[in-house]
Amino acid sequence: MSSIIDKISDWLHDLLVEGVMNNLTGMINAVNDEVGSIASDVSLTPAFFSPAVFNMIKRISETVIVPIAGLILTFIACYELIQLIIEHNNLANFESWIFLKWIFKTFIAVTIISHTFDITMAIFDVAQYVIANAGGLIRGSTAISEDQVAAMASNIDSMGNGALFGLYLQSAVVQITLYALSKIIFVIVYARMIEIYLMTSLAPIPLSTFGNREQSQIGQNYLRSLAALGFQGFLILICVGIYSVLVRNIAFASDVIGTLWGIVGYTILLCFTLFKTGSLAKSVFSAR
């Protein structure tokens, strides 16, 4: 009778060990896959992230937004000419160079609108260059080695069935939590790119304000916002690098329960810092 109970106990022990190991490796791999894809996603420019979406945005901007920007530019150009005339006492102190100045400023403003996407994409090309170089220095992998897995399996195998059952329940809860957190990371990264597409779709309107010194503040703030979005990817990459270092320093083998909740804590911290990268980048570039 006791041999039967021992065999059932051994079978249950092996089942719990296998279940715990599957939960641990599954949750670590899920987060590692999501974290590993961040570096490649944030290093892509809008044109390469989704060419179909980019072409749609560009086509809509050029056919719908550019005419509106042209109207705004016409109004600003007329307003600028009136201001030049008033500043010279209604042409009482006539100087022909003011018209050359007005023509030159208007020409520059029209050129900016005509090359809106070239200007906006240049900003993201610079950001992509920085991110790509930083990606070569930052290792974003949180994968654990085979030796760590073997040591962790040995430590788990030495536990009793009661401790294993509690560990299995905890690992199941943690696995669900980390799966949800990995999807939050996915949403943060893709929401940034969608925001970039939305911003670039309206690019001709703020860039049409460069014909006037006062109104050009709109365009300058817009360019700062684009720069903030571009370099937000660099901050995201830094967050991933810090996260990977913290996770690799966790004692996977010696303290399994501490490992579980340590990974959860670091992943929550990663999500929080990823949320903060947008506001931090805007504060650096003084974008509103």
Query: Alpha-carbon distance 100 to 103, whole Å?
Result: 5
Query: Alpha-carbon distance 39 to 120, whole Å?
Result: 22
pLDDT on residue 179: 79
Contact 209, 219 (CB under 8 A): yes
pLDDT on residue 89: 61
Task: Share the mean pLDDT of the chain.
Answer: 80
Dihedral of CA atoms 20, 22, 28, 29 in degrees, nearest 10, equals 180
pLDDT on residue 140: 52
pLDDT on residue 139: 56
Domains of the chain, residue spans:
2-61+116-284
Query: Alpha-carbon distance 87 to 103, whole Å?
Result: 17
Tell me the C-alpha to C-alpha distance, in Å, between residue 198 and each of 32, 149, 229: 29, 44, 12
Reported as a single tens digit per residue, the pLDDT across 237-284 is 888 888 877 777 765 556 677 777 787 888 888 888 988 998 999 998
Contacts of 179 (CB under 8 A, 6+ apart): 27, 30
pLDDT on residue 252: 57
Reported as a single tens digit per residue, the pLDDT across 72-121 is 888 888 888 877 777 766 556 666 677 787 888 888 888 888 888 889 99
Contact 127, 233 (CB under 8 A): yes
pLDDT on residue 196: 92
pLDDT on residue 219: 87
pLDDT on residue 197: 93
% of the chain beyond a pLDDT of 70: 81
> Sign of torsion, CA 173 178 181 182?
negative
Answering whether pTM is above 0.85, one says no
pLDDT on residue 144: 61
Other CB atoms within a 10 A radius of the CB of residue 166 amount to 13
Reported as a single tens digit per residue, the pLDDT across 156-193 is 777 777 777 777 787 778 778 877 877 888 888 889 99
Tokens 């760590």 locate to 148
3-state secondary structure at position 86: helix
Question: What is the pLDDT averaged over residues 212-219?
Answer: 82
DSSP state of 251: -
Other CB atoms within a 10 A radius of the CB of residue 261 amount to 13
Rg of the chain on CA atoms, in Å: 29
Confidence of residue 31 (pLDDT cuts 50, 70, 90): low
